[in-house]
Structure 1
Amino acid sequence: MSKPEFTLRTDVYPAIEPELFKGSLNGKVAFVTGSGRGIGREIVLALARSGAAVAISGRTKSQVEETTQAVLSSASGVKAIGVVGDVCSRTDQERMVKEVTESLGPIDILICNAGTNTFMPFHMTDPDEWWKQMEIMVKSPTELTRMILPMMQKRNSGTIIYTSSRAAGADLPWAAGYSCAKTAITRFAGILQNELNILQKDTFGHDTNGISVFSIHPGEVKTKLHETAFPQKTKDEAPYVIEHMAKMAKMHPDFKAELAAWTCVYLSAGNGAGLEGRLVDCTRDIEEVKKHVTATPRPRITNACG
């Protein structure tokens, strides 16, 4: 059966309208990595607007502080802290998680948004730099999950979201490291969801599993990451890469960061039933997708990247 066409969305639309989620995350604590700027910044603003206490994190202190102040100024009664650190450092991860839980409470929502990209033909890439992408977008989120998941399992409640990409299911040239990382974290989300569906009932004795795991494709949002993704080596030795990516960029509409942000709120507020474990494409109407998915028989072995 061919996949149906879903309505393309580029900005906030009725199903994820902010007014729908006022107070929906009251009492929840959210920790968002890579939230000092770009898509992550919009995610923490949206979560806070919906009532969550939020922890903003990133490597650049000035960005974390500026976004933290923006969140605190966004509405009265908002709780927010900034935690600065390297998500690839286990020491920093442990310290940040400790700071969040001691200041705000147990983490209910974990959104791993930190990422990087380098557009360069594989044969030109430096091995250490190539694997660094895997560390940031695979090792970092899985190890943070390892630290935070036990809290969620004990309460049988929580939402985990990984910022992935449509690249997880496409052979995008010039971005082998990025695409492999996104494929890996998307597959991890699907497998973790299936494991939790079994463990929370059979091992931990709950009636049903209350922990939801998603990966998302936020859309081709024009952030500073796109501006820094072309290193000098690519500009000097492979200008055809820049030309190719410029042509591809013209094919995409102007996706807003708020689209992914409010999709995250939608999922964190418990509206993602039927989409757990899957790659959620924020650029397609989520209600239409959910209706299609829930009406389709679920295979015994699922495919998160499908």
Structure 2
Amino acid sequence: MDLGQFGISAVPLHNSPYGPLLPEHLAGSNKGKVAIVKGAAQGIGKKIAEALANSGANVAIVDLKDGSETKTACESFNVKAACYSCDVTDVERMRTVVEDIEKVLGPIDILVKNAGMNRGRPICMDTFEGYWRCFEVNYKSVMNCIFAVLPGMRERKSGTIISMASRAGTHDCPLALGYTDSKTAIIRATASIQGELEMDGLGETIQMFSLHPGGVPTALGSCKYILTRSYNYPMVNQWPPVPGSEEGLQYQSAGFPADVAQRYPEAEKTMKQFLTYLRTDPGLCAMTCAYLATGRGKQLRGMYLDVRQDIGRVAARGRSALQKAGLYSLKMDFIEDYANEV
């Protein structure tokens, strides 16, 4: 990973909930809706489930891990919550779970897919099976959920689908092939499916989004760290700790297996530097999901959004202007005088 490929924003980024994304401003805004949150037993997924519950949605917690803690947290907002054990790469099981959720909670209005893995291995030190498992967890699971839920949304002409992507989906990232490929696929699929919805006149009522959740210090893949500060909902605007301080994060290692780190010491060094940038409150992504589920960000539908950017500032540019400029989407550029022709 070359940190030099990343730009620096002239406008300060948000790293915690702000303005329209504050919990008190979204309380009850999704009242009565039914939400599925995949990977909701812990981490960002848990916070997303809580944010949706705060906004009034009844929440289905889908995870192979025990989601009872998330269920209790959601129910504290006086909404219904239920846990479902599911390997979301299992097509038949996912269909059954969706049917069960609709029997218990009702038709699904919101789907948020939050799960991922990163092996941190170059192709010369990996197996196809390892690479493909990463792709299945990150991408097959996303499409499996969409195929299970979208038909009902199309029939009712209403719904919001949010998928966790990554900045890795917009850059070349050696040593993270399965992760990068799958996150790029999520961004592209989001835009393409939204395009199909627009063709059927459903764009105003069904919205798809892919999100970069910011620099959240999570246990994704082999990134290892200790959180020395707990996340207590609702979030306060005191995260992150001062960069370089010992409060908040104590890193045990960079994100590569020992044999990879030994072969690529410069990559290991760069990863340690990269980890110091992970200082985004997971509540920011969570509240962004709750906000988008209300339909207030529908002019940004089909786009890839970095949750740290002020959503009001981005939306104010206007949908047609963003699309004309090719912003918030994947694109390929060429040297002068050449275009991406038909």
Shared topology, TM-score over 0.5? yes
Pick one of 273, 285, 310 that aligns with 1:247. 273
Percent of pairs identical after alignment?
35
Displacement of 1:256 in angstroms is 0.8
Q: Which residue of 2 aligns with 1:278?
A: 303
**Do the aligned partners of 2:305 and 2:328 also contact (CA within 8 Å) in 1?**
no
The amino acid across from 2:73 in the alignment is: A
SS at match of 1:55: strand
Pick one of 212, 219, 230 that aligns with 1:217. 212
1:59 aligns with 2:64: yes
Provide the rounded CA distance (Å) in 2 between the counterparts of 1:237 and 1:248: 19
Provide the rounded CA distance (Å) in 2 between the counterparts of 1:40 and 1:297: 29
Displacement of 1:231 in angstroms is 3.6
Provide the rounded CA distance (Å) in 2 between the counterparts of 1:237 and 1:300: 42
Provide the rounded CA distance (Å) in 2 between the counterparts of 1:66 and 1:237: 41
The amino acid across from 2:120 in the alignment is: F
Deviations 1:235-270 (A, max 9, x none): 5554543322111222x2511100100010111111
1:198 aligns with 2:199: yes
1:40 aligns with 2:41: no
> Moved runs in structure 1, 4+ residues, more than 6 A?
300-303
Deviations 1:123-144 (A, max 9, x none): 2122111011111111111121
Deviations 1:68-121 (A, max 9, x none): 12222x22x221001111111113212221221111011100111111112122
Q: Measured at CA, do residues 297 and 100 of structure 1 come closer, stay the same or move farther in structure 2, by a change above 3 Å?
A: closer
Q: Measured at CA, do residues 65 and 234 of structure 1 come closer, stay the same or move farther in structure 2, by a change above 3 Å?
A: farther
Provide the rounded CA distance (Å) in 1 between the counterparts of 2:187 and 2:322: 21
Q: Measured at CA, do residues 120 and 293 of structure 1 come closer, stay the same or move farther in structure 2, by a change above 3 Å?
A: farther
Pick one of 20, 28, 32 that aligns with 2:25. 20
Q: Measured at CA, do residues 293 and 41 of structure 1 come closer, stay the same or move farther in structure 2, by a change above 3 Å?
A: same
Displacement of 1:273 in angstroms is 2.5
Q: Measured at CA, do residues 191 and 48 of structure 1 come closer, stay the same or move farther in structure 2, by a change above 3 Å?
A: same
Provide the rounded CA distance (Å) in 1 between the counterparts of 2:256 and 2:71: 29
SS at match of 1:224: coil
Q: Measured at CA, do residues 301 and 287 of structure 1 come closer, stay the same or move farther in structure 2, by a change above 3 Å?
A: closer
Q: Measured at CA, do residues 33 and 243 of structure 1 come closer, stay the same or move farther in structure 2, by a change above 3 Å?
A: same
1:227 aligns with 2:224: yes
**Do the aligned partners of 1:57 and 1:83 also contact (CA within 8 Å) in 2?**
yes
SS at match of 1:7: coil
The amino acid across from 1:65 in the alignment is: S
Q: Which residue of 2 aligns with 1:158?
A: 159
SS at match of 1:274: helix
Provide the rounded CA distance (Å) in 1 between the counterparts of 2:20 and 2:131: 38
Unaligned runs of 5+ in 2: 1-7, 226-254, 332-342
Provide the rounded CA distance (Å) in 1 between the counterparts of 2:321 and 2:204: 21
Provide the rounded CA distance (Å) in 2 between the counterparts of 1:211 and 1:123: 42
The residue correspondences of 1:114-193 to structure 2 (distance < 5 A) are 114-193=115-194
**Do the aligned partners of 2:17 and 2:284 also contact (CA within 8 Å) in 1?**
yes
Displacement of 1:233 in angstroms is 4.0
Q: Which residue of 2 aligns with 1:85?
A: 86
Displacement of 1:171 in angstroms is 1.4
Deviations 1:267-288 (A, max 9, x none): 1111112211000100111111
SS at match of 1:10: coil
The amino acid across from 1:11 in the alignment is: S
**Do the aligned partners of 1:55 and 1:82 also contact (CA within 8 Å) in 2?**
yes
SS at match of 1:292: coil
Q: CA RMSD in A?
A: 2.3
Provide the rounded CA distance (Å) in 2 between the counterparts of 1:238 and 1:67: 39
The structure with more helix, counted as a fraction of residues: 1
Provide the rounded CA distance (Å) in 2 between the counterparts of 1:191 and 1:290: 20
The amino acid across from 2:219 in the alignment is: K
The residue correspondences of 1:106-117 to structure 2 (distance < 5 A) are 106-117=107-118
The amino acid across from 1:102 in the alignment is: K
The amino acid across from 2:216 in the alignment is: V
